[in-house]
Amino acid sequence: MSLVELHAIHKSFGALEVLKGIDLSIDEGQVIALIGKSGSGKSTLLRTINGLEAIDDGVIMVDGKKISERDTDLLALRLQVGMVFQQFNLFPHYTALENVMLSPQVVKKQSKAEAREIAEEMLAKVGLADKMMHYPDQLSGGQQQRVAIARALAMKPKVLLCDEVTSALDPELVNEVLAVVRQLAEEGMTLVMVTHEMRFAREVCDKLVFMHQGRIHETGDPEEVFSNPKTPELSSFVGGLA
């Protein structure tokens, strides 16, 4: 069984059906790139996986446990599924260290000492050992996003969902964040990444998922899918990026 399994996921906002029957399995250690035009349902799909968005129909299993609307233990789910967003959403009045220490203490009831040890470890992992006492406004966008990644990692998630984590960054800051994600991938972290960085998708990801109008339109090995798109929609999407 895969770590995450989605079966026939449907989701509408009012009359707008945004997810029209999504089937996707995510194996442990797998790195998936989720691509597609704006509005195709990528963010909504990620948000269903960690329970930020309730689904109308279908089944989501995380680590063998069924997540349904009625008996979802959202807290337990969110402990296993980490998420990083385009906007870093750090608390401005907390240092980098305090930002990373917060959830483990509040949600996991870790002691301050325990939370601090893990936070220091995760900030070092993302290359910010020397910036732990800085406040967000003393950090660059790339550094803030790395704090946000450390914050997600401090919860020791089984899978990490990244939604356009480099899209809000100045171009020169993109690579330092991608390098951190690449390192996580190499260490065996299970990752689902919505990204426009096609070179990164090719080099780092095991599987490419192309969404179009609420459906998985094409999927497969990134290299193969990119070099031989089978649908005009993917051809045009890839062409538009070139």
Q: Is 180 helix (H, G, I), strand (E, B) or coil?
A: helix
Tokens of 123: 């900030």
Among residues 3, 5, 32, 41, which is the contact residue for ligand ADP, using CB under 6 A?
A: 41
Report if residue 38 touches ligand ADP, rule: CB under 6 A: yes
- At 29, is the secondary structure helix, strand, or coil? coil
Residue 15 engages ligand ADP in binding (rule: CB under 6 A): no
- Whose Cβ is closer to ligand ADP: residue 18's or residue 126's? 18
Alpha-carbon gap, residue 94 to 192, rounded angstroms: 28
Q: Which is nearer to Mg ion, 42 or 146 (CB)?
A: 42
Nearest-angstrom CA–CA distance, 165 and 186: 18
Q: Which two tokens stand for residue 187?
A: 């260490």
Cα–Cα dist 59/41, whole Å: 17
Residue 44 binds to ligand ADP (criterion: CB under 6 A): yes
Query: Rule CB under 6 A: is residue 36 a binding residue for ligand ADP?
Result: yes
95: enclosing H helix or E strand: none
Residue of 22, 24, 31, 42 that binds ligand ADP (CB under 6 A): 42
Among 30, 40, 99, 195, binds ligand ADP (CB under 6 A): 40
If phi over 0 gives left and psi between -120 and 50 gives alpha, with beta otherwise, what is residue 59?
Answer: beta
From ligand ADP, Mg ion, none, interface partner of 13 (C-beta below 5 to 8 A by class): ligand ADP
What minimum distance in Å lies between the beta carbon of 165 and ligand ADP? 13
Interaction of residue 43 with ligand ADP, rule CB under 6 A: yes
Q: Give the footprint of ligand ADP on this chain (CB under 6 A).
A: 13, 18, 36, 38-44
